[in-house]
Structure 1
Amino acid sequence: MTKLSVNINKIATLRNARGGNVPDLLKMTKDIESFGAQGITIHPRPDERHIRYQDARDLKKIVTTEFNIEGNPIQKFMDLVLEVKPTQVTLVPDATDAITSNAGWDTLANKNFLKDVIATFKQHNIRTSIFVDADTKMVEGAAETGTDRIELYTESYALAYTNGNLKGIDPFIKAAETASKLGLGINAGHDLSLENVKYFKENIPNLLEVSIGHALICEALYLGLENVVNMYLNKLR
């Protein structure tokens, strides 16, 4: 079975919108794990607009499944990861002002930099993964850095699937086949949803883990909204 790691950034966004501690990020993390998720993902950004650096420290104390921290390996991020020591660190090349991740690494142009970063994390027994586009050359470049895994950036697949283009998965199949031949583990994430994740899983060989946040939280709102509205109505009758 491919593991599900739930990205809880959006829960933190909602909490931060009003201040205080509602929703309670730590309680919801425990609930998500109790519901069966096999991992928790966070992506702290320098401005801490959703996950705060202190959240990473607090989550380390309570997460009982895989703990995955994503981010651009600037010094502040590296210091946090080395302090917290999660199960996995996923390197993402997003700019400091990025709304969300929008590209994978150029693993050829950044090979030496990534080698150094990965070597540092491996010295502390932290599994490493590199966020890459579905491009066999970028996968080959990732293998030369010493990373344990890649995470396929799946936005283009999700868009193609929504538009009825099932051929949009073809580059991902090729990238996954290349990764497997090179001994890399395969993760995937970005815009995967209830609508498209099954087809992706069925066609991508050796898919170890998917990281899903935005879609999962939105779907939880949609699928749970009727129940909560009726609970309020029952209270008000």
Structure 2
Amino acid sequence: MLGIDKLSYQSRWCRVSPLRKCALYLLMMVLAFALPPVGQAVLLLVIAAFTCWLLRVGPVRYLRWLAVQLGFLLFGVMTIIFSASHHAQALLWSVPLGTLHIGIDAQGIGVANQTFWRSLAALAATYWLVLNLPFPQLIILLQRLRVPRLLTEQILLTWRFIFILLDEAQAIHRAQSLRFGYRTLPGGYRSLAMLISMLFSRVLLRYQQMVTTLDVKLYQGDFHL
């Protein structure tokens, strides 16, 4: 199982109806976009505390999850704060660059502040849904929302092949490690290249085996969901 799967199955709300979870998620998202920055910060703290309690994890681990996306968010916020203008008086602080002045825009600070807290609140709400919704409940939710069956089947098969891909990659990597394939940096690069080439061939072989199995079971084009 993936780490995200383990967390969703250990959640206190593991067996709660997925429709209720979806409704609460939509409420969180509406609040994340409608509240002012102070309210969004409070909402972020509430969702974070609620998520930690449901998943039985500590705040440090939760902050590590947020840190994964924080770098991209900060980079986007910085592009909002800094602006270019032909007049230095229009900026709080600027550096001349040819005929332009690049610096901090007062209006951009307000927009960046709102964008920062709104994004974090929405991200926390999305984390809450993903980490508390096991994959079988996701399939049920998609069916209840009348998502096209073909799309649901594609999601199911993609999820299945993620495990096949990881299983084959771990088996190849284990065999290479036992033969000291990653002992040196050049050897590690060669082993990694071999792993990638072998991985796709073995995944295609597993796919052919699955197709053969489905043909033996008289597969008619529809999966039982």
Q: Does the pair score TM above 0.5?
A: no
TM-score norm. by structure 1 comes to: 0.24
TM-score norm. by structure 2 comes to: 0.25
Q: Quick one: higher RCO (CA 8 Å, sep 6+), 1 or 2?
A: 2
More strand by share: 1
Greater gyration radius: 2
